[in-house]
Amino acid sequence: MIKSFKVYEALNWASSFLMEHNRDRNAGEILLQHYLGVNRSQLLARLHDELPEQISSTFIQSVEKHVKGTPVQYMTGSEEFYGRTFTVNEEVLIPRPETEELIEHALLKIKKLFPVERPLELVDIGTGSGAIAITMKLECPKLLVTATDIANPSLEVAKANGKALAAEVEWVQGDLLKPFIAKGQTFDILLSNPPYIPIADKATMSVVVTEHEPHRALFAGEDGLEFYRRFMEELPLVMKKPGLIGFEFGAGQGSAVAEILQKAFPEAVVSVEYDINGKDRMVFAEL
């Protein structure tokens, strides 16, 4: 393997190697930006610079690790979400662009459902990296935001992100809504991106996901609907009226999740929303 080469040579090698192994060819560019501490335009301005040998070696190893399945975000330690940089590691799900759309819809619905400005209590269940809770607080500072996760290692990542991004969020360790039911605490808004992948889908999924991202954040029983059913038993005990509930789900699960939600809240206005790719991806209940 080449020990030292110019930036453009490193990028060309990575691009070919990644494509050959059916990985995203842009991964090399992201990794090299990270190791050189530059943005994309700065990287392109340095195409003819010689790479230091140590960076060349680390870069080659990282590209090879990605080909074997390690997500780029776990190597760089970060992912962009809603215009902000979040720290991520193998204890948390990597934030996805689809979840940015959950935020967009939630912000619009909050304005519509709560036209009179007053303090509103929002909870994010299964917060992971804290992306939903932190973004909602920063986009709508008057919200009083609480976030939970069942796993303490995930909460530690979320807390660090909250501190780094100066977002005031209350962090609670617990299983779904149990900590709040125990205290008699209620909320105006509940958002969640729960696990929703049927366990059988694991066989056909990329190892980049199945071998590295936490399974507790991915899989949800035979049909992927296990957590939504559990939510419906607990939600009526914590939701205020008027209130807003918003879930992300897997493509094709929209009608099933909407039906479960409508059954739990017969009077609610339940709507399925589509993502930028035209796939059903979010469901909301306006109480």
Residue corresponding to tokens 């519509």: 112
Phi, psi of 275 (to 5 degrees): -85, 180
Provide φ and ψ at 277, rounded to 5°.
Answer: -95, 10
Q: Where are the alpha helices (DSSP H) in 114-239?
A: 131-139, 152-164, 178-183, 207-210, 226-234
Is 129 marked as a binding-site residue? yes
95 labeled part of a ligand binding site = no
| Residue 83 marked in a binding site | no
Return the ∠ at Cα 92 (arms to 281 and 125), rounded to 5°: 55
Query: Is 194 annotated as belonging to a binding site?
Result: yes
Residue 238: which of 194, 191, 284, 177 has the closest Cα? 177
Q: How far apart are CA 165 and CA 153, in angstroms?
A: 19
- The alpha carbon torsion through 108, 218, 268, 121 (nearest 10 deg) reads -60
Q: Answer yes or no: is 119 a known binding residue.
A: no
Tell me if 153 is assigned to a ligand binding site.
Answer: no
Going by the DSSP 8-state scheme, the letter that residue 84 receives in this structure is E
Is 255 marked as a binding-site residue? no
Contact 182, 238 (CB under 8 A): no
- 196 annotated as belonging to a binding site for a ligand: yes
List, as residue ranges, the binding site. Answer: 126-130, 149, 193-196
List, as residue ranges, the binding site for substrate. Answer: 193-196
List, as residue ranges, the binding site for S-adenosyl-L-methionine. Answer: 126-130, 149, 193
